[in-house]
A and B are shown apart, each in its own frame.
Chain A
Amino acid sequence: AQKVTQAQTEISVVEKEDVTLDCVYETRDTTYYLFWYKQPPSGELVFLIRRNSFDEQNEISGRYSWNFQKSTSSFNFTITASQVVDSAVYFCALSEREGQAGTALIFGKGTTLSVSS
Chain B
Amino acid sequence: DGGITQSPKYLFRKEGQNVTLSCEQNLNHDAMYWYRQDPGQGLRLIYYSQIVNDFQKGDIAEGYSVSREKKESFPLTVTSAQKNPTAFYLCASSSKIGRRTDTQYFGPGTRLTVL
- A interface vs B, CB < 8 Å? 4, 9, 35, 37, 42-47, 50, 91, 95, 97-99, 102-105, 107-110
Contact = CB atoms under 8 A, between A and B. Distances in A.
Contacts of A95: 101
Interface of B: 31, 33, 35, 40-45, 48, 50, 56, 58-59, 88, 90, 92, 94, 99-101, 103-109, 111
Contacts of A91: 42-43
A44 B92 CA distance: 10
B106 A44 contact: yes
Contact of A98 (B56, B101, B108): B101
Contacts of B90: 43-45
Nearest to B101: A103
Contacts of A42: 108
A98 B99 contact: yes
Nearest to B107: A44
Given A105-B43, A109-B40, A97 B48 contact: no
B103 A50 contact: yes
A103 B31 contact: yes
Contacts of B92: 45
Given A105-B33, A110-B41, 7 more contacts: A42-B108, A46-B106, A47-B106, A50-B103, A98-B101, A104-B48, A110-B40
Contacts of B43: 45, 91, 105, 107
Contacts of B107: 44
5 contacts: A43-B108, A47-B103, A47-B105, A47-B106, A110-B40
